[in-house]
Amino acid sequence: MNKFKWFILTGFFSGLLPKAPGTWGSLVGVIIAYFIIKYFPNPNLTIMLLAFLFTIIGYKYINEYEQSSGIHDDKRIVIDEIVGVLISIGLLGDLKHDTLIKLFFAFISFRLLDIWKPSIIGKIDKNAKGALGVMGDDILAGIFGGILAGIMYMIYLKIIT
């Protein structure tokens, strides 16, 4: 595995931090999303396209890594967490308004579902092999996390109004 691929798989080396690599990788995804929201005219589409691109790259590089190392779902690999949190964020509406609270809700929702792994998320994590097993649970956690974050945001709006 060359250094560039390892750099990408480990979320710009955030997965190499000693504690909670998945949380650090998710935080990298939130930071990426923040800059997209700030500087791009259509942030939701851009974030979802980036998540798709990272999914393709991650799938290829993870399979390559697992074949060469023999290690399945290495905790240092966090590109899957970046993809998941980007999906959660990208599913929220109008990211230019209440940006920080939406990023917070998406981050919390995604991490909760990624750690807890309820229902089909856990089944994919346990049963799918290779990159599908590594990325699949995070993609689903991202989708359900986006829905949960949207619900949390609607409750937040009801409370503050």
What is d(CA 131, CA 28) in angstroms, rounded to the nearest whole number? Answer: 20
83 Cβ contact list (under 8 Å, min separation 6) = 29, 51, 54, 55, 58, 135, 138, 139, 142
pLDDT digits (tens, 9 = 90+) for 107-116: 999 999 999 9
**pLDDT at residue 5 tops 90:** yes
User: Whole-model pTM?
Assistant: 0.97
Give DSSP secondary structure letters for 35-91: HHHHH-SSHHHHHHHHHHHHHHHHHHHHHHHHHHH--SS-TT--HHHHHHHHHHHHT
**pLDDT at residue 130 tops 90:** yes
Give burial (CB, 10 Å; 0-12/13-18/19+) of 123: middle
What's residue 1's pLDDT? 84
Count of all residues that appear for the chain in the document: 161
Instruction: Please state, for a pLDDT cut of 90, what percent of the chain lies above it.
Output: 98
**pLDDT at residue 155 tops 90:** yes
Beta carbons within 10 angstroms of residue 86's beta carbon: 30
pLDDT band (50, 70, 90) for residue 152: very high
